[in-house]
Amino acid sequence: MTQADKRKILLKREVKDILRIKGDSSFYEMIKRGEFPAGFKVGLRRVGWYEDEVYTWLDERAKEARGEVA
């Protein structure tokens, strides 16, 4: 089993819950503007994000807001 096999995959609803975003349009606009990473296909009509990458992205935004990242 590879490291990727052990990582948890989140679906759109779960990612939106973590980011506290209600609307799909706001979420997709963030992706379109490059403000949030695009997901990857996990099925015919499903897109996923690795949980650790979502939390890393969120931590980076918090550090930027506090002026901790140049």
Q: Each residue of 41-52: pLDDT tens digit?
A: 999 999 999 999
Q: How far apart are CA 67 and CA 12, in angstroms?
A: 29
Residue 53 contacts residue 9 (beta carbons within 8 Å): no
Instruction: Enumerate the domain spans of the chain.
Output: 3-65
pTM: 0.83
Q: Is the pLDDT of residue 61 over 70?
A: yes
Q: Which residue has the tokens 């997901």?
A: 39
DSSP assignment of 37-61 equals ---EESSSS-EEEEHHHHHHHHHHH
In eight-state DSSP terms, residue 16 is: H
